[in-house]
């Protein structure tokens, strides 16, 4: 099977290593992906499902979103305070 580039949206629900490496790293990077994947599995990367023969793509994407802090509380340090519209006008009048 020749390596092809896929996007996340074009991958099957359970994708094989070649399809995943193509989506993540570009075509022809399966050998590199096979070396990187075990290292990432130690950090929580979903493993290959033996019955389905691939990695569960929604879980794989969630793993990378957590790794790069795309979602969650760690992305925003503190909630925004309510805006006080017109407050700059009041400051000028008090002076």
In a domain, 79, yes or no: no
Residue 6's pLDDT is 72
Residue 85's pLDDT is 61
In a domain, 43, yes or no: yes
In a domain, 59, yes or no: yes
Can you give the three-state secondary structure of the chain, one letter per residue?
A: CCCCCCCHHHCCCEECHHHHHHHHHCCCCHHHHHHHHHHHHCCCCCCCECCCCEEEHHHHHHHHHHHCCCCCHHHCCCCCCCCCCCHHHHHHHHC
In a domain, 85, yes or no: no
In a domain, 86, yes or no: no
Query: Per the structure, how many domains does the chain have?
Result: 1
In a domain, 76, yes or no: no
Residue 47's pLDDT is 97
In a domain, 95, yes or no: no
In a domain, 77, yes or no: no
**By the 8 A CB rule, do 4 and 22 touch?**
yes
> Tens of pLDDT along the chain (95 residues)?
454 567 888 999 999 999 999 999 998 999 999 999 999 999 999 999 999 999 999 999 999 999 988 876 554 444 555 656 666 666 656 65
């Amino acid at each position: 099977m020749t390596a092809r580039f896929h996007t996340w949206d074009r991958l099957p629900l359970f994708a094989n290593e070649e399809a995943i490496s193509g989506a993540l790293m570009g075509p022809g990077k399966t050998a590199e992906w096979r070396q990187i994947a075990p290292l990432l599995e130690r950090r929580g990367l979903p493993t290959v499902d033996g019955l389905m023969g691939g990695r569960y793509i929604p879980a794989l994407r969630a793993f990378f979103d957590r790794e790069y802090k795309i979602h969650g509380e760690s992305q925003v340090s503190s909630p925004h305070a309510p805006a006080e519209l017109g407050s700059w006008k009041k400051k000028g009048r008090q002076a």
